[in-house]
Structure 1
């Protein structure tokens, strides 16, 4: 298996053999804290923001012909699944050179540059300098998205199609402040931004495979899909981007933050999902 590294930014594992135009990206599970990250919050709270073990659960997809792309940096440092202008102007020191677009998540403190962790714990004692925020974008956010775009565009140009699965995890029970607060979430929630980032046939295939393993699967119920699929999905031009939210209780003890034995079973299921997506993509390849 070929591995490509941009230290601190991303790891990429290429398919072992019979490469298919399929990419699984894991943007919010990194745990390599950059030296520039100087949070004052307790590390135990900081780490609760990370979607732990997602990169492991999808770790065998290269065996099925897919590319695996993993953001090494923690989303609590800069969140690759947020828009580059989704910044709270009150959280930065200095003037941003463009009009900012803070959304609902930013108002909750979890935008592009999170300002809280573990729900309510403040990450920093004060504001962040504009230069520091720009460095996070230039050195981490854009290199990751540029690599993802390069992979998808190259596959689409060669094959006429590229399938992009953006891999995330969600708490089993929605926290206070969420639209589904207190509810038990499905095993998998598939987000295509209400039909705009991925063709229905691809969404149906993913749902069918996962239901075949006995999972409860919903569509656009808990999360419709955020920046990774919005930025890269272009089904009219052959790039199909789908956000896959996986219930953490399937593979980890959320309270202890440890792996459960079932992780291996889920990993086998997701490797089979990759295999079926690879077969689908290859059957529609123009190469």
Structure 2
């Protein structure tokens, strides 16, 4: 296994004989850049992090897949949001082009989150345009450019590439008519069949269901920016978002791993083996 690091931005682990498969973890980082100034407590900031996901998928490299992990936290800049998903009212200054805030952005969870732990403010002053541009240029784009490079190289070498964007979700639905209801164990998001061949979604659902997990599709999260930006099935790049219920592997309140964390780790390594086998077979069939 080889490892490559861009300090503060990402770490990448490459298998000796890589299949055209990438598992990337964009929202589990905990290295807060020195320019990040927040009035929120670290405990509240960490509630926005998909904790331990990078460790849960550590076995994918042994299966032949590439592993990519963003060091920076989504409270600083969220790699799973569009680069223009900014509330103009949250900025000190005027952005030089039209912004595209999503409905979630008005609640404080856009590209530059303004709240954490549901309602706790992150800042006591609006970030400047220059500060946000710095975060985009030095963190967000280097990470996404690496994802794009890897997928293009896989596609060019094998005729196709398979991309799994790995996240975790709280065990209970927080708001809406189903608030308080338990979520499934895994929710697979392919933006309603638009970011990958359904064969990939079917395979992942089959493997996870085979372990006894309850699997849903496009139910809680259809897939956000990582799969939207990179998935292009017509050009041979297949992107699927995997949301894992945190209660499977950690205590949501203390953020401590549960004793059965190694079993979940082993199941995800087996998932990687199956996806790698699928990808190698598909690439071989292309000749």
Q: How does 1:1-287 map to 2 (within 5 A)?
A: 1-15=1-15, 17-176=16-175, 180-285=178-283, 286=286
Secondary structure at 2:55 match in 1: helix
Give me the TM-score of the superposition, normalised by structure 2.
0.98
Change in Cα spacing, 1:270 to 1:179, as seen in structure 2 (3 Å) is: farther
Deviation at 1:180, TM superposition (A): 4.3
Distance 2:178 2:232 in 1: 29
Secondary structure at 1:259 match in 2: coil
Deviation at 1:161, TM superposition (A): 1.0
Secondary structure at 1:230 match in 2: helix
Secondary structure at 2:61 match in 1: helix
Distance 1:72 1:3 in 2: 14
Structure 2 residue runs of 5 or longer lacking an equivalent are: none
- Paired positions, count: 285
Change in Cα spacing, 1:179 to 1:231, as seen in structure 2 (3 Å) is: farther
Distance 1:239 1:179 in 2: 36
Q: Deviations over 1:41-79 (max 9, x none)?
A: 112111111110000000110000000000000001000
Distance 1:180 1:53 in 2: 27
Q: Deviations over 1:221-251 (max 9, x none)?
A: 0100000000000011111000000000000
Distance 1:182 1:98 in 2: 40
Structure 1 residue runs of 5 or longer lacking an equivalent are: none
Q: Deviations over 1:138-164 (max 9, x none)?
A: 000000000000000000011011110
Kindly report the root-mean-square deviation, in angstroms, between the aligned alpha carbons of the 2 structures: 1.0
Distance 1:170 1:55 in 2: 14
Instruction: Tell whether the 8 Å contact from 1:180 to 1:222 is kept in structure 2 after alignment.
Output: no
Instruction: Tell whether the 8 Å contact from 1:197 to 1:240 is kept in structure 2 after alignment.
Output: yes
Q: Deviations over 1:252-277 (max 9, x none)?
A: 01111100011100110000110111
Query: Where does structure 1 differ by over 2 angstroms across 4 or more consecutive aligned residues?
Result: 178-181
Secondary structure at 2:243 match in 1: strand
Give me the TM-score of the superposition, normalised by structure 1.
0.98
Deviation at 1:284, TM superposition (A): 1.2
Distance 1:115 1:171 in 2: 19
Distance 1:138 1:182 in 2: 39
